[in-house]
Structure 1
Amino acid sequence: MKLVKLLANLGYGSRKEVQRFIKAGAVTDDTGEVLREASNTPHERILFRGEPLDPPSPLVIIMNKPDDYTCSTEDPGDTIYDLLPARFSCRNPGLNPIGRLDKDTTGLLLMTDDGKLLHRIIHPKSNCLKRYHAVLDRPLNGSEGEIFASGEMLLRSEDRPLLPAQLEVLNEKEAIVTLHEGRYHQVRRMFAAVDNHVLTLKRISIGGLALPDDLEEGEWRPLTDAELALVFDHP
């Protein structure tokens, strides 16, 4: 890919802006040699203003989503895109969340510019299980696990039963819920249906990929190939 198109697709500016950056000497290789539009330098060796280029497409990133951030730019307030470099909003193709998290749900969120991968992960046939840590307002009564796993649970205003979900009780007010699907506010609505209320909810894994311990809330990084493969593992 030509240097101007590469930088423009990565969001560093319009093609005209990128051309000006190149003429001004802002784009070099890792030895400091100034690059020109016709340069044929490998992506990993190109620097923009002394910094390595952002990863190329296709890109998958992992984020530890904080509370009070939405996954849609159409919603008011802070969004997950505010946690990324501003130029990421100009990437072509753009980054999209792989399954949204509610504004008040935290934890593991994947984003990608690879549409085929996105649909592969969210498709029910992929069986990418999603695990959530829920802190509840009231103690569990002991019947929730059987109800969640029955395959007969109906949520209000729906006529299709939920797929069986697993409940792992941690203590009287904390539990891990494993879902095989991802309906709107599903975990919160499930507990509401058994007369409880979720105080905090955090997604802790997708498939065999767990939220890294060293990824603080609000932080993100590119996902490695090995980590991506874990998404399709079934623990």
Structure 2
Amino acid sequence: MRRLDQLLSALGYCSRREAIAFVKEGRVKLGGVVVKRSDQRVDAALITVDDQPLEAPDGLLAMFHKPVGYACTHSADEGPTIYELLPSHWPDRNPAVTSVGRLDKDTSGLLLVTDIGSLVHRYTSPKSDIEKTYLVEVDRELDPALIGIFTKGDLMLRSEDKPCLPAKLEIVSTQTARLTLTEGRYHQVRRMFASQGWQVEKLHRERFGPYELGDLAEGEWQMLVPP
């Protein structure tokens, strides 16, 4: 049980002060009955705002299809950000929603966004071994020899002191491949191909762990049930 004003503030609906106005306007109900006090202790599962259940009161997890050109940051200094495409109240949650498995501006595809700290740690820990699959388009014809080079597990990247872990490469067409890896080094996919003389022209993440983008439209999100 939590105080109503604290609950609404934590979920990004309003400030604790604004919760008083929400209550006065009759916008908040408990079990279908209009709430009279903003400091009342309530069961989040029974609360509605504007006749809608509270959004993810126990923690939010969503899959997002990131378009090219958007940064995975809360800072406006880097230009357009993914949070401009997501519900405006999500960054107001406490803790705020953040992206997991960041993608650079020039990469599209699957991102997870969540405010559940344990999931952020689980999915970003170097020991997580979570598979990520990318569709990669390069600047010239692919050499099947890359399959063995990436699989072997001894590929060294510039300025790195440890080789990349084994990665699975599938050649889809002349200049397109599907790469599955378990690491998340800085610009790793682009650097892996560049180390062998190929430049990545387009990069798109299709899968992150158990989650697949499927036919989710660019710029759209889908709520998930936290594990």
TM-score normalized by the length of structure 2:
0.90
SS of 2:143's equivalent? coil
Cα drift, residue 20 of structure 1? 1.5
Cα distance, 1:53 vs structure 2:
2.2
Residue 79 of structure 1: CA displacement? 0.9
* Structure 2: stretches of 5+ with no match in the other structure: none
Greater CA drift, 1-10 or 202-211: 202-211
CA drift of 1:124 comes to: 3.6
Deviations 1:130-152 (A, max 9, x none): 11011111110222111111211
Which residue number in structure 1 is paired with residue 97 of structure 2?
95
Cα distance in 1 for partners of 2:74, 2:94 equals 17
1:72 Cα offset (Å): 0.9
Aligned-partner Cα distance in 2 for 1:41–1:92: 18
Quote the residue 1:132 is aligned against: 134
Q: Report deviation, 1:220.
A: 0.9
Partner letter of residue 142 of structure 1? Answer: P
Superposed CA deviations along residues 156-178 of structure 1, whole A, max 9, x for unmatched, are 22222111111011111111101
Identify the residue that residue 84 of structure 2 maps to in structure 1: 82
Q: Which residue in the other structure is 2:144 paired with?
A: 142
Paired residue secondary structure (1:132): strand
- Residue in 2 that maps onto 1:54: 55
Q: Aligned letter for 1:161? A: P
| Secondary structure in 2 matching 1:126 | coil
**CA shift for structure 1 position 49:** 2.5
Secondary structure of residue in 2 paired with 1:125: coil
- Retained in 1: the 8 A contact 2:3–2:42? no
* CA distance in structure 1 between the partners assigned to 2:103 and 2:15 by the alignment: 32
Task: Give the TM-score normalised by the residue count of structure 1.
Answer: 0.88
| Corresponding position of 2:169 | 167
SS state of the match for residue 169, structure 1?
strand
Contact 2:71–2:82 (CA under 8 A) maintained in structure 1: yes
Aligned to 1:15: 16
CA contact (8 A) 1:57 1:113 kept: no
Give 1:183's match in structure 2, choosing from 155, 163, 185: 185
RMSD, aligned α-carbons = 1.8
Tell me if structure 2 keeps the 8 A contact 1:133–1:203.
yes
Structure 1 counterpart of 2:133, which letter? R
Aligned partner letter, 1:89: P
Verify the 8 A CA contact 1:94 1:113 in the aligned structure 2: yes
Figure out how many residues of one structure are paired with residues of the other and give that number: 224
Moved over 4 A (4+): 38-42
Q: Is the 8 A contact 2:61 2:224 kept in 1?
A: yes
- CA contact under 8 A between 1:191 and 1:197: conserved in structure 2? yes
Partner of 1:233: none
- The answer on whether the counterparts of 1:57 and 1:93 sit within 8 Å (CA) in structure 2 is no
Per-residue deviation, 1:68: 0.8
Residues of 1 paired with 2:130 and 2:172: CA distance?
23
SS in structure 2 at match of 1:101: coil
Displacement after TM superposition at 1:40 (Å): 5.7
Gapped regions of structure 1 (runs ≥ 5): 229-235
